[in-house]
C-alpha cells in the first residue's frame, strides 16, 4: 500500500522506515531540504540503533522515497501520516503551527479522498481543528477522514518498539479509515502479540498524553520516595524492587535519578497541564510531578555543592550528555541544566559522552570533550554521572581512583553499588541511598 509520512524526525523516520520494511511503498516528506538531500544519499539525520540498515535496504528496494514537497506527498498516496513536531510554545501550550500547515497544504493539493492520520503527539480534539482547517482550504468538496494513531516508541529502542509494540492505538470515525489503517498494520499485528485497539479519535489522542504523563508521574513518585529514603536511611533500590514485585506496580520506570528529560515527557506533561487549565480542571497532580522533576536536579546540584564547598576553580568531569543511553538526543537533558550552572560558578569542565558530543557542542562550543570516561576524569576533583551509559558501569574503579585528584563521585543515576565504592576508597553520593563518606577524602 502507498503511504506518505510528513515529518522525518525520530517518529516520522522510524514509522516510514518500518512501514517500508513490512512491504509498503513509502514517501517521507520534510521541509528541511538538507535533511532530505542527506537521506537520499543514505545519511541518517539521527542516531538510532538499527535504522540505517533498514533505510538503506528499503531505499535500494525502491520502497522508501524522500521529498521536500507536501504537494508531491499528497499526490503520492491516499493515506498521509502527520509526524511533524509539536514543540512547546511560550505560553506552555503545544505549538500546533506545523500540524496546521500540513492540514492546510494537503487540503490545497488533494484532488480525491485522503485520510490524514495524526502521529504527532497532540492535545485531545486536535482532529476537530484539522477538520476545520481542511474544510476552509479545500478548493472543492472532496471527502476526507482524520484519524489518530499515537506513537509510543522510545528513543534508543525505537526500531524494536516499532516492530513489536505493546499496543497499536487507532482512533477513527469511519469504516473506510479503519479499514485502511488495519491494512497498513496487518503485518505487524499478525507477526506479534500486540493488541490492536480501535476507539474514537478523542480517546486515542488522550491515551497518548495520559500514558506519557503517567510514566512521568511514576518517575517523580520514585524520586520523591528517594528523598524520604535519604532522610531516613532507607535504600531506594531495595524499596523500588520491593514495590515492583507487585504486578499491579511493576518494575519499569521506578529508577530514581536526576529526573526525566528528553523531547517527550517534559513537553507532554507541560502541554497536558496547560490543557487542563484551559479546560478548567487543574491537573495539580501533574504540577507536582513537574515540580519534583525540577527539584531533583537542584537537589543533586546541592549534593555536589556541599561536597565541593567551593566550586570555583574545581575540575568537574561530567559523564553523559544525552538525556538517556542509546541516543544522541540532548533535548531537555540534565546536562543542559548542570553545564551552564557549573560554568557560571567558574568550574573547569571535562565532558564525556559516547555519541551526543556533536549535538552538545552546538549548544556549548569551546568546552573540553574526551573520548573515554577515564580520560575525562583525569585530574578531576569530582565526577558527576548524568547518563547511565554501559561504558560508565564498565569503568575500572581502581584506575578511576588513581586518575582523579579527589575520589568524589556524584552519581545521578545510581550506577554503582555504595559498598563497592566504599571498598575502592571513593566518597560516593547517589540518589536515595546512604552516602559513602570516605575519611581520606574529607
Ligand atoms: C517516552 C515514552 O517512554 C515513549 O513511550 C513515548 O513514545 C515517547 O516518550 C514519546 O512520546 O515520543 P523517550 O522520551 O524516548 O520515550 O524516553 P524514556 O525511555 O521514556 O525516558 C524518558 C526519561 O525518563 C529519560 O530522561 C530517562 O532517563 C527517565 N527515566 C526513565 C527515569 O529517570 N527513570 C526511569 O525509571 C525511567
Closest to 216 measured CA to CA, from 289, 146, 129: 289
Q: How far is the CA of 434 from the centre of ligand 1 (A)?
A: 26
Please work out, in degrees rounded to the nearest 5, the angle formed at the alpha carbon of residue 97 by the alpha carbons of 96 and 103. Answer: 90
Q: Tell me the CA distances in angstroms from 431 to 47, 193, 223, 309, one per residue in order.
A: 29, 37, 8, 19
C-alpha cell at 17: 522506515
Can you tell me whether residue 66 is helix, strand or coil?
strand
CA nearest ligand 1 atom 11, residue:
264
Report strand pairing: 195-199 vs 315-319: unpaired
Q: How far is the CA of 324 from the centre of ligand 1 (A)?
A: 8
C-alpha cell at 55: 533505510
Instruction: Give the percent of the chain with pLDDT over 90.
Output: 95
If one counts every other C-beta atom within 10 angstroms of the C-beta of residue 172, the result is 24
Q: Structure pTM?
A: 0.95
Strand partners, 44: none
Instruction: Return all residues near 217 (Cβ < 8 A) that are at least 6 apart.
Output: 285, 286, 289
82 CB-contact burial (10 Å; exposed 0-12 / middle 13-18 / buried 19+)? buried
Q: What is the mean pLDDT of the chain?
A: 96
Q: pLDDT tens digits, residue range 217-252?
A: 999 999 999 999 999 999 999 999 999 999 999 999
Q: pLDDT tens digits, residue range 145-174?
A: 999 999 999 999 999 999 999 999 999 999
Cα atoms found within 13 Å of the Cα of residue 345, Cβ hemisphere only? 19
| Per-residue pLDDT at 439 | 62
- The residue whose CB lies within 8 Å of the most ligand 1 atoms, and thus the one to mutate among 155, 211, 329, 385, is 155
CA nearest ligand 1 atom 35, residue:
253
Extended strands (E) in 292-425: 315-319, 348-352, 368-370, 382-385, 408-411
Q: How far is the CA of 389 from the centre of ligand 1 (A)?
A: 15
| Per-residue pLDDT at 440 | 56
Closest to 404 measured CA to CA, from 386, 428, 426: 426
Q: How far is the CA of 261 from the centre of ligand 1 (A)?
A: 7
19 CB-contact burial (10 Å; exposed 0-12 / middle 13-18 / buried 19+)? buried
- The residue whose CB lies within 8 Å of the most ligand 1 atoms, and thus the one to mutate among 324, 333, 356, 388, is 324
Taking the CA of residue 156 as reference, the ligand 1 atom at the shortest distance is: 15
Cα atoms found within 13 Å of the Cα of residue 214, Cβ hemisphere only? 8
Taking the CA of residue 208 as reference, the ligand 1 atom at the shortest distance is: 11
d(CA 116, CA 373): 47
Closest to 293 measured CA to CA, from 215, 368, 361: 215
Q: Report the pocket of ligand 1 as residue ranges, CB < 6 Å.
A: 121, 151-155, 212, 215, 219, 253-255, 257, 260-262, 264-265, 323-324
Q: How far is the CA of 97 from the centre of ligand 1 (A)?
A: 25
Average pLDDT on 43-55 reads: 94
CA nearest ligand 1 atom 36, residue:
253
- The residue whose CB lies within 8 Å of the most ligand 1 atoms, and thus the one to mutate among 51, 150, 154, is 154
| Per-residue pLDDT at 93 | 81
Q: Tell me the CA distances in angstroms from 85 to 98, 100, 102, 114, one per residue in order.
A: 7, 11, 11, 21
Per-residue pLDDT at 299 exceeds 70 = yes
Q: pLDDT tens digits, residue range 87-132?
A: 888 787 888 999 999 999 999 999 999 999 999 999 899 999 999 9
Q: pLDDT tens digits, residue range 183-200?
A: 999 999 998 779 999 999
DSSP string computed for 73-128: HHHH-SEEEE-----B-TTSSB--HHHHHHHHHHHHH--S-EEEEE-S---TTHHH
pLDDT bucket at 441, cuts 50 / 70 / 90: very low
Q: H or E stretch including 25?
A: strand 25-29
Catalytic residues: 264
CA nearest ligand 1 atom 20, residue:
154
Instruction: Give the percent of the chain with pLDDT over 70.
Output: 99
d(CA 92, CA 96): 12
pLDDT bucket at 442, cuts 50 / 70 / 90: very low
CA nearest ligand 1 atom 12, residue:
264
Q: 497536558: which residue's cell?
A: 272
Q: Which has more confidence, 325 or 192?
A: 325
| Per-residue pLDDT at 94 | 82
Average pLDDT on 380-391 reads: 98
Per-residue pLDDT at 137 exceeds 60 = yes
For residue 68, the Cα-to-chain-centroid distance in whole angstroms is 25
CA nearest ligand 1 atom 16, residue:
154
DSSP string computed for 27-57: EEE-S-HHHHHHHHTT--SS--TTHHHHHHH
Report strand pairing: 382-385 vs 408-411: parallel
Amino acid at each position: 500500500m502507498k503511504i506518505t509520512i510528513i515529518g522525518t524526525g525520530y517518529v516520522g523516520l522510524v514509522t516510514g522506515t518500518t512501514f517500508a520494511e513490512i512491504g509498503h511503498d513509502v514517501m517521507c516528506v520534510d521541509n528541511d531540504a538538507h535533511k532530505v538531500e542527506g537521506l537520499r544519499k543514505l545519511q541518517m539525520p539521527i542516531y538510532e540503533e538499527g535504522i540505517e540498515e533498514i533505510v538503506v535496504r528499503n531505499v535500494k528496494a525502491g520502497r522508501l522515497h524522500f521529498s521536500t514537497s507536501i504537494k508531491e506527498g499528497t499526490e503520492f498516496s491516499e493515506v498521509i501520516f502527520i509526524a511533524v513536531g509539536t514543540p512547546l510554545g511560550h505560553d506552555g501550550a503545544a505549538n500546533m503551527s506545523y500540524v496546521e500547515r500540513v492540514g492546510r497544504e494537503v487540503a490545497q493539493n488533494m484532488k480525491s479522498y485522503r485520510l490524514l492520520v495524526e502521529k504527532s503527539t497532540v492535545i485531545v480534539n486536535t482532529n476537530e481543528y484539522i477538520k476545520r482547517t481542511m474544510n476552509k482550504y479545500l478548493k472543492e468538496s472532496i471527502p476526507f477522514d482524520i484519524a489518530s494513531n499515537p506513537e509510543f516508541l522510545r528513543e534508543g529502542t525505537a526500531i524494536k518498539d516499532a516492530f513489536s509494540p505493546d499496543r497499536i492505538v487507532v482512533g477513527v470515525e469511519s469504516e473506510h479509515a479503519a479499514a485502511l489503517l488495519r491494512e497498513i498494520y496487518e503485518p505487524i499485528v499478525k507477526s506479534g502479540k500486540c493488541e490492536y485497539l480501535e476507539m474514537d479519535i478523542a480517546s486515542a489522542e488522550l491515551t497518548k498524553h495520559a500514558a506519557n504523563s503517567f510514566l512521568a508521574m511514576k518517575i517523580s513518585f520514585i524520586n520523591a520516595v528517594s528523598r524520604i529514603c535519604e532522610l531516613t536511611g532507607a535504600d531506594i533500590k531495595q524499596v523500588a524492587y520491593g514495590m515492583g514485585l507487585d504486578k499491579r506496580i511493576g518494575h519499569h520506570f521506578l529508577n530514581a535519578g536526576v529526573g526525566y528529560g528528553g523531547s517527550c515527557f517534559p513537553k507532554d506533561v507541560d502541554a497536558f497541564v496547560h490543557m487542563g487549565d484551559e479546560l478548567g480542571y487543574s491537573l495539580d497532580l501533574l504540577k507536582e510531578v513537574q515540580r519534583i522533576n525540577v527539584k531533583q536536579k537542584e537537589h543533586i546540584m546541592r549534593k555536589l555543592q556541599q561536597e565541593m564547598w567551593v566550586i570555583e576553580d574545581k575540575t568537574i568531569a561530567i559523564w553523559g550528555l544525552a538525556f538517556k543511553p542509546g541516543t544522541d538526543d540532548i533535548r531537555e537533558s540534565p546536562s543542559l541544566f548542570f553545564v551552564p550552572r557549573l560554568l557560571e560558578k567558574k568550574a573547569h569542565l571535562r565532558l564525556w559522552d559516547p555519541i551526543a558530543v556533536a549535538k552538545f557542542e552546538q549548544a556549548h562550543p569551546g568546552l573540553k570533550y574526551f573520548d573515554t570516561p577515564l580520560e575525562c576524569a583525569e585530574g578531576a576533583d569530582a565526577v558527576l554521572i548524568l547518563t547511565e551509559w554501559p561504558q560508565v558501569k564498565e569503568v575500572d574503579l581502581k584506575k578511576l581512583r588513581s586518575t582523579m585528584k579527589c575520589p568524589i563521585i556524584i552519581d545521578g543515576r545510581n550506577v554503582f553499588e555504595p559498598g563497592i565504592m566504599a571498598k575502592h576508597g571513593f566518597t560516593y553520593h547517589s540518589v536515595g541511598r546512604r552516602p559513602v563518606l570516605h575519611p581520606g577524602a574529607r
